[in-house]
Amino acid sequence: MTRHETFPTKSIADKDFVLATDLDGTFLGGTEAERRQFYDWIEGTRARVGLIFVTGRDPGYVRELTRKRRVPKPDFVVGDVGTTIAEVDEDHFLTPIPELEAEIEKAWNNAGMRVQAALQGVGGLRLQSTGFRHRVSYDMDPDRFEARALDIVAGLGLDALVSDNRFFDVLPKDVSKGPSLLRLLTHLGVDSRKVLVAGDTLNDLSMLAMGLPAVAVGNSEPALLERVAELPHVHAARQAGVAGIAEAILHHKLLA
């Protein structure tokens, strides 16, 4: 091989292991030393390890995170609580995959303004300033929250998701992290047996419950731990954040 030749880049389907992970509290969780060690391991094994972020965060946040905060760049992102499915280029830009988002866009049907109008005046909800394409999200005050918001959203033919007892997301019907991740893995031809799904709050439940090897990291929301307690494929890690992910990789024997 000459100095100008390079080995072909493996597609994510050909890699030995794929980590599909939530960000806040999970891939961004743990001590600074634990994060640095785990991120260095990811970067050192990229030929064998694929990385997918499955997050409630928006594309702009993910790009800022990986460009300026020394967090490994993912191969793909399932963002906005499952309403964005995108690939990531060398410049850290996220490009939505139209064939995977078509059903999401149809299910949403430009509902943003209708949702905001219907929930205006409902106690305990404060609209988040970030503009999302296929969702509406609120910060939630659990002491003031009015449960009628759930009925209002259902009446609009949409889904409501409460997570960490402080976030209220309105999503297209039957769209969340789990179904969107599964749609992406199928599209990419990834063998689900070599995927580890990692999360820490109730908005991760739909992906942890899919039947793939999974971990609820040690600092998980108690409500999530309660819901996954009887699922044998979900490892309840003792350690928090990235240390819990590493613990689960060993527990599930996912990478030699």
Q: What is the mean pLDDT of each run of 10 residues along the chain (256 residues)?
A: 41 96 97 97 96 95 92 97 95 95 96 96 93 92 96 97 91 96 97 97 95 97 95 97 98 90
Considering the entire predicted model, what is its pTM?
0.90
Task: Say which CATH architecture domain 107-171 belongs to.
Answer: Alpha-Beta Complex (3.90)
User: What ranges in 45-163 are assigned the alpha helix state H?
Assistant: 59-68, 98-108, 112-119, 148-155
Delimit the domains of the chain by residue range: 12-103+175-251, 107-171
pLDDT of residue 6: 36
Cα 182 off chain centre by: 12
CATH domain 12-103+175-251 topology: Rossmann fold (3.40.50)
The answer to whether 88 and 79 are in contact (CB under 8 A) is no
pLDDT of residue 2: 36
The answer to whether 237 and 198 are in contact (CB under 8 A) is no
pLDDT of residue 9: 55
